[in-house]
Amino acid sequence: MSQYLFYILSLLTAFSAMMVVFSRKPVYSVLYMIFCFFTIAGHYILLNAQFLAAVHVIVYSGAIMVLFLYVIMMLNLNKESEPHKSNIAKTAAVVSGGLLLMVLVSVFKSADGLAINPAFDSQIGMVEVLGMVLYEKYLLPFEVSALLFLTAMIGATMLGKKEGGAQS
């Protein structure tokens, strides 16, 4: 059962990810991307990582992609106004894409098989276990990343503020 679900989800993920690139309209690209995120959340649920799935949906599909969509709707991008790319840019894109493909292929070739890990703990994605791992084992990195976010937040607020005193 879950095997078939996995195949269906993977197919949908791959399809929507490709549609992000192939769609002519930017808004459709964003919508396919949102759909892609949902299928990834489905993969998390298949791995019994419900917390991760929920947070993924809330943060990526619910917040970040809304902002993406927001900007694209405001800019009203469409086919006609798409800027013409120069040949150098196209060549650079092909080369860097090819390099990325090479890296990926070599990584997957050197990986020691995609065998199922017998020591896999099905409870590892649960909230309690995740909390314990984050706050016990990886407390310092966790707190440091929190600080990083705080800095980013303050920086964004400062950038957004108008020069010479804020308006109320």
Binding site residues, other proteins, CB under 8 A: 27, 31, 34, 50-51, 54-55, 57-58, 61-63, 66-67, 69-70, 73-74, 126-129, 132, 136, 168
Q: Closer to other proteins by CB, 74 or 159: give it.
A: 74
Minimum CB separation of residue 48 from other proteins in Å reads 11
Instruction: Record the tokens describing residue 133, joined without a space.
Output: 């791992």
Q: Closer to other proteins by CB, 70 or 138: give it.
A: 70
- Identity at 20, one-letter amino acid code: V
Rg of the chain's alpha carbons, rounded to an integer? Answer: 21
Minimum CB separation of residue 17 from other proteins in Å reads 19
Distance (Å, whole) CA 101 – CA 103:
5
Minimum CB separation of residue 63 from other proteins in Å reads 6
What is the number of alpha carbons within 13 Å of residue 37 lying toward its C-beta? 19
Q: Closer to other proteins by CB, 62 or 98: give it.
A: 62
Minimum CB separation of residue 127 from other proteins in Å reads 6
Q: Closer to other proteins by CB, 15 or 70: give it.
A: 70
Distance (Å, whole) CA 127 – CA 146:
19
The span from the first CA to the last CA of the chain, in angstroms, equals 57
Contact (Cβ atoms closer than 8 angstroms) between residue 40 and residue 56: yes
